[in-house]
């Protein structure tokens, strides 16, 4: 009984997504150390039911309230508390017994639950990059105020975090984020005009959800990561460089002021950074696939092409502009990605519309939470009008 009490209680916000399901695998493989306290999802109620029956959490929440009765009835024979609605997910993140909250929700929806978890003093394993993209300054201030650790789960930021371990206050010259280049790395502008959402969803190296996979194809995912890196590691935009590394073995690098570079390498498997966030500063033995230098003997690097993949330059613009501009970028991107997945617009049109929105949206230099909410709402309206 004593060992049960010592298990780390984890809430997974977004348990039915790619990160959430892999996190549950990590927990299954280390069930003497971790226990699921809460699971949440937005729409995938059938998978959430399966997860709840397998892991028997204290509570579950579904964002889409239309699924509440189905979820409640399916779990009625178990002592699991069932909730519904976005507010319920945000409240679940505050629950007293929780030690760590894995924020694996997609997009803007992760902001409020992450804020609630920080205010409640929970350690954050951050897989929802949009939280720092939208409101990085606000989140960092809250984390400092409540003495909360934010541990990165993104493979690139986990790599930087690992490279910085043991470096103390040694000054950083620059962070080098690697990008696979996505499935369209070698396509011409003419070819990009005709690519489909089905083609964009076939990432060469990583298994991810639809939204993140499209963002990877357009390099917006890397754009969000540079903004996230600025807040996580306290560097200026000029200190963040992106390099295309198609093999996806070097997950990112740190260059120090003496010119030395540290890199973190490994197979493209998200379970490693998830587990590292759960166990930091300890490393647990795993049976994850190992990299074999004899099989892959060449690493190549390229500059990202900002003419074919303009979203990366828009992210640098939003980061340097500051204020609510990254929030504008995120909201516009969420709307255009949804439209592209429904074949309403083409691949290159996503960037055209985002550029237009960045020019039209109202700039707020020092936004508060209400400003972020208002910006998100208004930008979605503007973007949808441009798509019609």
How do the domains of the chain map onto residue ranges?
2-152, 157-309, 322-388
Specify the CATH architecture of the domain 2-152: 3-Layer(aba) Sandwich (3.40)
pTM of the entire structure? 0.92
pLDDT of residue 2: 42
Answer positive or negative: Cα dihedral of 103, 106, 108, 113: negative
pLDDT of residue 109: 87
Select from 384, 341, 372 the least CA-distant residue to 218. 341
- The Cα–Cα gap between 284 and 29 comes to 11
- The Cα–Cα gap between 50 and 56 comes to 10
Select from 332, 131, 348 the least CA-distant residue to 218. 348
- The Cα–Cα gap between 315 and 226 comes to 8
CB-CB contact of 122 with 8 (8 Å): no
Q: Where are the alpha helices (DSSP H) in the chain?
A: 2-6, 18-29, 45-55, 68-74, 86-92, 111-119, 130-145, 155-164, 189-192, 197-200, 210-218, 220-233, 271-279, 311-321, 325-341, 347-360, 369-387
pLDDT of residue 206: 60
pLDDT of residue 61: 97
pLDDT of residue 95: 95
Answer positive or negative: Cα dihedral of 345, 128, 178, 317: positive
CB-CB contact of 253 with 163 (8 Å): yes
Select from 188, 168, 165 the least CA-distant residue to 276. 165
CB-CB contact of 297 with 49 (8 Å): no
Per-residue pLDDT of the chain (388 residues; tens, 9 = 90+): 444 458 999 999 999 999 999 999 999 999 999 999 999 999 999 999 999 999 999 999 999 999 999 999 999 999 999 999 999 999 999 999 999 999 999 888 899 999 999 999 999 999 988 899 999 999 999 999 999 999 999 999 999 999 999 999 999 999 999 999 988 999 999 999 999 998 988 866 666 678 888 999 999 999 999 999 999 999 999 999 999 999 999 999 999 999 999 999 999 999 999 999 999 999 999 999 899 998 888 999 999 999 999 999 999 999 999 999 999 999 999 999 999 999 999 999 999 999 999 999 999 999 999 999 999 999 999 999 999 8
Token reading at 186: 């070698």
pLDDT of residue 143: 97
Q: Is 117 helix (H, G, I), strand (E, B) or coil?
A: helix
pLDDT of residue 317: 97
Which of the 8 DSSP states describes residue 345?
A: S
Just give the CATH number of 322-388.
Answer: 1.10.1740.10
pLDDT of residue 3: 45
CB-CB contact of 83 with 74 (8 Å): no
């Amino acid at each position: 009984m004593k060992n049960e009490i010592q298990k780390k209680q984890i809430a997974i916000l977004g348990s039915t997504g790619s990160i959430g399901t892999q996190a549950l695998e990590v927990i299954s493989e280390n069930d003497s150390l971790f226990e699921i306290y809460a699971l949440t999802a937005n729409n995938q109620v059938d998978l959430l039911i399966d997860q709840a029956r397998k892991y028997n959490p204290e509570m579950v929440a579904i964002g889409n309230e239309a699924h509440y009765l189905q979820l409640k009835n399916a779990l009625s024979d178990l002592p699991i508390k069932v909730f519904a609605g976005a507010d319920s997910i945000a409240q679940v993140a505050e629950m007293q017994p929780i030690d760590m909250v894995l924020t694996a929700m997609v997009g803007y929806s992760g902001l409020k639950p992450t804020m609630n978890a920080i205010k409640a003093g929970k350690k954050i394993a951050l897989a929802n990059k949009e939280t720092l993209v939208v409101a990085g300054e606000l989140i960092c201030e809250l984390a400092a105020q409540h003495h909360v650790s934010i541990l990165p789960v993104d493979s690139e930021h986990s790599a930087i975090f690992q490279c910085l371990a043991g470096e103390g206050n040694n000054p950083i010259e620059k962070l080098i984020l690697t990008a696979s280049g996505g499935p369209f790395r070698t396509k011409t502008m003419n070819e990009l005009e005709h690519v489909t959402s089905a083609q964009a969803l076939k990432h060469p190296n990583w298994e991810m959800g639809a939204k993140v996979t499209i963002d990877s194809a357009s390099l917006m995912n890397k754009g969000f990561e540079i903004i996230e890196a600025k807040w996580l590691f306290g560097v200026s935009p000029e200190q963040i460089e992106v390099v295309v590394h198609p093999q996806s073995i070097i997950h990112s690098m740190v260059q120090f002021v003496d010119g030395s570079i540290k890199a973190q390498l490994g197979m493209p498997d998200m379970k490693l950074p998830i587990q590292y966030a759960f166990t930091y500063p300890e490393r647990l033995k795993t049976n994850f696939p190992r990299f074999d230098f004899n099989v892959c003997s060449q690493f190549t690097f390229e500059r990202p092409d900002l003419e074919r993949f303009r979203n990366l330059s828009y992210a640098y613009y939003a980061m340097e502009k500051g204020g609510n501009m990254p929030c504008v970028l995120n909201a516009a991107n969420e709307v255009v990605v949804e439209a592209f997945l429904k074949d309403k617009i083409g691949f290159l049109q996503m960037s055209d519309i985002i550029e237009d929105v960045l020019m039209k949206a109202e700039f707020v230099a020092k936004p508060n939470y209400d400003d972020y909410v208002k910006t998100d709402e208004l930008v979605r309206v503007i973007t949808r009008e441009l798509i019609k």
